[in-house]
């Protein structure tokens, strides 16, 4: 497949490369990262470029690897009028995302109690495959969560009023309709609020060491200081979102015949955005997105309780505010410029993070000048990043950047190379206390199975799309 070099960080597959491509495909990567990508990435991103109504380019971020339909790390924007919506461009874990919580605590205060903290967090936040939360919701309560998201949590005592302004969409996407969600999805989601799940999901205690703060004034604006302890949460809508995606993939398989849509890969099943089927899925997707915002909110409430118990101080006294919460598996209506014209687009981000520059009306007032905080999760051994969005992101990538490291090795291959107990021992030797529901799951998440997070993050900084603020080093990890 022909791949043209546009710059040191941008590569392009021309629209002439595959029959049916409506736009070129663009890949953000260093030459090294490009060569490390599996061939499925190039096949999938060029298939995405064939979808009806796609605008400008089909994008793949530097953490890109083969996924379901879209590559993970994929971004595509479709015309609201004549474009499509595709579950494969959103992901099964709808609104899987990142939340960062600051504290006023320092490493010298937290490190002596890190094992106690990790043990109590592990007991308090259920994790693992099929894990159930400590909350018992009725069907009607779950429907309210679907509609109201974080608002429901705050009114039910699981958060502070000021939390919502530090969450994408204020933690509630309007237009969710529970009648578009199946009974099976409801049965899967009803006991999962406040749970971490499995795979690469985690709850991590981290520190901001002086040498890892790249922009001190921006860090201060985001509430970050030297040797500070923070907490990062990575999870989504769990089995609930997975079922919503599965349900509508079946519906879309039939809808494509009805609307005369032909795709190069059945995993790209889609429907016209303005069709009844497309709108039903969009409303159900919003239900799952709001459930994910609420899921992370309940987890934050629990971890505030844990810190309060361990340090014998109120969470407010420890400054346990949310820095930001951002989704990386979602489709949203956004206004962007295409060929000099402002257009409403259906922007799909699948393993990709919204990365809006300063001044965007969607940003909370506190971040209107800085640009949107962007939270990038690394592997459990390597640390994570806090970035901000830029003006260039708005013109180049529909305000999008990567979401994490990106796998270079399958879970099965990782398990053949190392055991969970070996990883646990190695991490503890490096000063990271880890608790997991499964030693097998721990082996699957070994650091060597992922790309170099710093190279991935640096790629998008060099491209001018996102700016580094601080790298956060793990000292305690809860793994599903």
Could you read off the pLDDT of 159-169 as tens digits, one per residue? 999 999 999 99
Token pair 């998440």 is at which residue?
445
Rounded to whole angstroms, how far apart are CA atoms 253 and 71? 20
pLDDT bin (cut points 50, 70, 90) of residue 8 is: very high
Give the other-Cβ count within 10 Å of 157's Cβ: 7
Share of the chain above pLDDT 90, in %: 85
472 neighbors 384 (Cβ within 8 angstroms): yes
The DSSP bridge pattern shows strands 352-354 and 373-376 to be: unpaired
269 neighbors 249 (Cβ within 8 angstroms): yes
Helix/strand/coil for 209: coil
Pair of tokens at residue 95: 């609104």
Q: What is the pLDDT of residue 437?
A: 81
pLDDT over 70 at 128, yes or no: no
Ranges assigned E (strand) in 310-402:
322-327, 329-338, 341-350, 352-354, 373-376, 384-389, 400-402
User: Which string of DSSP letters, residue by residue, matches 254-269?
Assistant: HHHHHHT---SSGGG-
User: Cα 387 to chain center, whole Å?
Assistant: 14
Average pLDDT across the chain, whole number: 95
Helix axes 276-311, 238-259, angle to 10 degrees: 170
User: Which string of DSSP letters, residue by residue, matches 412-469?
Assistant: HHHHHH--HHHHHHHHHHTT-EEEES-HHHHHHT-GGGB--HHHHHHHHHHTTSEEEE
Q: Which residues pair with 297 in a beta bridge?
A: none
Rounded to whole angstroms, how far apart are CA atoms 205 and 296? 15
pLDDT over 80 at 28, yes or no: yes
348 classed as catalytic: no
320 neighbors 371 (Cβ within 8 angstroms): no
For the stretch 308-362, pLDDT in tens is 999 999 999 999 999 999 999 999 999 999 999 999 999 999 999 999 999 999 9
393 neighbors 355 (Cβ within 8 angstroms): yes
For the stretch 269-305, pLDDT in tens is 999 999 999 999 999 999 999 999 999 999 999 999 9
User: Cα 306 to chain center, whole Å?
Assistant: 25
pLDDT over 90 at 396, yes or no: yes
Domain boundaries, the chain: 4-408+450-479
User: Span 114-129, mean pLDDT?
Assistant: 89
User: Span 358-368, mean pLDDT?
Assistant: 95
Rounded to whole angstroms, how far apart are CA atoms 343 and 61? 23
Q: How many CA atoms lie within 13 A of 252 on its CB side?
A: 28
Rounded to whole angstroms, how far apart are CA atoms 28 and 462? 10
Cβ-count burial of 34 within 10 angstroms (0-12 exposed, 13-18 middle, 19+ buried)?
buried
Question: What is the pTM assigned to this prediction?
Answer: 0.96
Q: Which residues contact 195 (CB under 8 A, 6 or more apart)?
A: 125, 126, 127, 131, 132, 133, 235, 238, 295, 299
* Architecture label for domain 4-408+450-479: Alpha-Beta Complex (3.90)
Among 242, 301, 336, 403, which one carries the catalytic annotation?
403
């Amino acid at each position: 497949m022909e791949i043209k070099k546009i710059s040191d960080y941008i590569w392009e597959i021309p629209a002439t490369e595959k029959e049916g491509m409506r736009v070129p495909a663009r890949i953000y990567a260093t030459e090294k990262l490009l060569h490390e990508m599996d061939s499925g990435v190039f096949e999938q991103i060029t298939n995405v470029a064939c979808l009806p109504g796609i605008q400008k380019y089909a994008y793949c971020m530097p953490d890109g690897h083969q996924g379901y339909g879209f590559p993970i790390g994929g971004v595509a924007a479709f015309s609201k009028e004549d474009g499509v919506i595709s579950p494969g461009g959103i992901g099964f874990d709808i609104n899987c995302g990142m939340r960062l919580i600051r504290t006023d605590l320092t490493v010298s205060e937290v490190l002596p109690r890190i094992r106690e903290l990790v043990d109590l967090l592990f007991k308090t936040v259920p994790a693992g495959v099929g894990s159930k939360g400590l909350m018992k919701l009725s069907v009607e309560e779950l429907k309210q969560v679907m509609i109201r998201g974080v608002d429901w949590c705050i009114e039910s005592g699981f958060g502070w009023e000021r939390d919502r302004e530090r969450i994408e969409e204020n933690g509630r996407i309007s237009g969710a309709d529970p009648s578009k969600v199946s009974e099976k999805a409801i049965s899967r989601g009803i006991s999962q609020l406040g749970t971490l799940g499995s795979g690469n999901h985690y709850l991590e205690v981290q520190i901001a060491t002086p040498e890892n703060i790249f922009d001190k004034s921006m860090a201060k604006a985001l509430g970050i200081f030297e040797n500070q302890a923070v907490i990062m949460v990575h999870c989504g809508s769990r089995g609930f979102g997975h079922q919503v995606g599965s349900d509508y993939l079946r519906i879309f398989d039939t809808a494509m015949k009805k609307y005369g849509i032909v795709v190069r890969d059945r995993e790209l099943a889609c429907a016209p955005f303005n069709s009844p089927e497309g709108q039903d899925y969009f409303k159900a997707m919003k239900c799952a997105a709001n459930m994910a915002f609420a899921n992370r909110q309940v987890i934050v409430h629990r971890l505030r309780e844990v810190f309060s118990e361990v340090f014998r101080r109120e969470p407010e006294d420890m400054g346990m505010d949310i820095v930001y919460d951002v989704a990386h598996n979602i489709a949203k209506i956004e206004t962007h410029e295409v060929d000099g014209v402002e257009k409403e687009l259906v922007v799909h981000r699948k393993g990709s993070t919204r990365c809006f520059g300063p001044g965007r009306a969607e940003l909370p007032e506190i971040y209107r000048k800085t640009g949107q905080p962007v939270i990038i999760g690394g592997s459990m051994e390597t640390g994570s990043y806090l970035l901000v969005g830029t003006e260039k992101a708005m013109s180049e990538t529909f305000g999008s950047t990567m979401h994490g490291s990106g796998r270079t090795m399958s879970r099965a291959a990782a398990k053949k190379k190392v055991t969970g107990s070996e990883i646990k021992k190695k991490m503890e030797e490096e000063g990271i206390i880890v608790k997991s529901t499964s030693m097998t799951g721990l082996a699957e998440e070994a650091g060597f199975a992922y790309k170099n997070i710093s190279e991935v993050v640096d790629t998008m900084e060099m491209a001018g799309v996102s700016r580094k603020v601080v790298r956060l080093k793990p000292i305690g990890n809860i793994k599903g």
